[in-house]
């Protein structure tokens, strides 16, 4: 019997904690530019930010999570983590359901998880990036995939939801390796995942590698195709993908920041379009459909994904097969 209870809308209050938590220097990372914060965040500043954002959420019947993103939160001094947690816990708003945070796999240990449990952390997202130890080493991640497996198991043992983040097109990777990473991530049974295409940001080691000709970023087309395959595999395995593509905030897009790579402000949408394009194309080829109308019955919520951004899928089938997509709402 379907439940008649309305689904509560979910909100995040994102607090970006820049590089202080991180002693690493991954070749692709320009932490401050990704987070959009140029200054250090203190618990006091976090309090102001939470109050400000909370006041803008008028919905009385929703679930809100306070999210510590952007750096390697659990790499911070335990006492400072506690102060951030206490700040979050001091908000008595009934709509706040818990805390989520992102961190590195090698910054997960018993003490960290004890404290997370104490403050009701609901989700921990790990930056995995790749399951290939060779790629992890080339990108100076400072940990192996074995560490990801250990940290994932420890998080799940505590009953905390696990999120895993991966990148496509990293230095030293290729499509096959990216798909391998996806499969290894699926094996860890996370409840959610994020997919990020590798961008070359100004001032990073990846920029130098790119200039020296040692690294060639993916084209937008390659990044879309690989991400579409990975997104489909995650979904087939019941993993909710909560983001595809970096958040195109002002700071990321500031002039000169993205030096090269498959950036598109609607990257996730293009990936969704591609999944439909691939499915429809397989049907068209299988059934030998050419130069005719092709009717697709779909719910209204899916029609724009099927037609594609600015009609790109519609154009594609018309040009390549002479097929005109005809959508019937169901």
Q: Assign residue 291 a region: left if phi > 0, alpha if psi is -120 to 50, beta otherwise?
A: left
The DSSP output letter for 174 is -
Per-residue x/- mask for ligand SF4, residues 119 to 148, rule CB under 6 A?
A: --------x---------------------
| Residue that the structure tokens 């961008």 belong to | 199
Those residues whose C-beta lies under 8 Å from the C-beta of residue 4, and which sit 6 or more positions away, are none
Instruction: State the nearest-atom distance from the C-beta of 141 to ligand SF4, in Å.
Output: 7
The DSSP output letter for 258 is E
163 is a site residue for ligand SF4 (CB under 6 A):
no
Among 26, 99, 167, 239, binds ligand SF4 (CB under 6 A): 26
Instruction: State the nearest-atom distance from the C-beta of 214 to ligand SF4, in Å.
Output: 19
The continuous run of DSSP H or E covering 56 comes out as helix 43-56
Number of residues in contact with ligand SF4, rule: CB under 6 A? 11
Both structure tokens of 11:
């909100």
Is residue 200 within 8 Å of residue 261, measured between CB atoms? Answer: yes
| Alpha helices (H) in 162-219, listed in sequence order | 175-187, 205-211
Per-residue x/- mask for ligand SF4, residues 79 to 118, rule CB under 6 A?
A: -------------------------x--------------
Rank residues 142 and 268 by Cβ distance to ligand SF4 and give the closer one: 142
239 is a site residue for ligand SF4 (CB under 6 A):
no
Rank residues 136 and 231 by Cβ distance to ligand SF4 and give the closer one: 136
Q: Which stretch binds ligand SF4 (CB under 6 A): 20-28, 45-53, 82-90, 279-287?
A: 20-28
Instruction: State the nearest-atom distance from the C-beta of 208 to ligand SF4, in Å.
Output: 15
Q: Any bridge partners for residue 34, and if so which?
A: none
Is residue 72 within 8 Å of residue 107, measured between CB atoms? Answer: yes
Q: Which residues bind ligand SF4 (CB under 6 A)?
A: 19, 22, 24-26, 29, 31, 71-72, 104, 127
């Amino acid at each position: 019997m379907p439940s008649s209870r309305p689904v509560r809308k979910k909100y995040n209050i994102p607090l970006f904690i820049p590089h202080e938590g991180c002693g690493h220097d991954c070749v692709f990372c320009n932490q401050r530019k990704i987070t959009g914060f140029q200054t250090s965040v203190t618990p006091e500043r976090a309090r102001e930010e939470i109050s400000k954002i909370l006041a803008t959420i008028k919905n009385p019947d929703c679930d809100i999570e306070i999210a510590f993103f952007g750096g390697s939160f659990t790499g911070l001094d335990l006492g400072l983590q506690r102060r951030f947690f206490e700040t979050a816990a001091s908000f008595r708003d009934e709509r706040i359901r818990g805390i989520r945070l992102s961190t590195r796999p090698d910054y997960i240990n018993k003490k960290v998880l004890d404290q997370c449990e104490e403050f009701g952390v609901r989700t921990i997202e790990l930056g995995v990036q790749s399951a290939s130890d060779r790629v992890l080493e080339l990108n100076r991640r400072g940990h192996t995939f074995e560490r990801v497996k250990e940290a994932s198991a420890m998080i799940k043992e505590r009953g905390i939801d696990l999120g895993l983040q991966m990148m496509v097109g990293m230095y030293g990777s290729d499509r096959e390796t990216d798909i391998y990473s996806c499969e290894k991530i699926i094996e860890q049974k996370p409840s959610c995942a994020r997919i990020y295409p590798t961008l070359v940001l100004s001032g990073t080691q990846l920029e130098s590698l790119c200039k020296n000709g040692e690294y060639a970023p993916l084209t937008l087309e390659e990044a879309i195709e690989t991400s579409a395959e990975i997104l489909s595999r995650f979904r087939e395995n019941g993993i909710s993908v909560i983001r595809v593509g970096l958040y195109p905030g002002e700071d990321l897009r500031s002039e000169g920041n993205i030096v090269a790579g498959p950036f598109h402000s609607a990257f996730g949408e293009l990936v969704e379009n591609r999944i439909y394009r691939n499915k429809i194309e397989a049907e068209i080829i299988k059934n030998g459909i050419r130069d005719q109308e092709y009717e697709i019955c779909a719910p209204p919520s899916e029609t724009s994904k099927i037609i594609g951004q600015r009609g790109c899928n519609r154009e594609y089938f018309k040009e390549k097969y002479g097929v005109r997509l005809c959508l019937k709402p169901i």
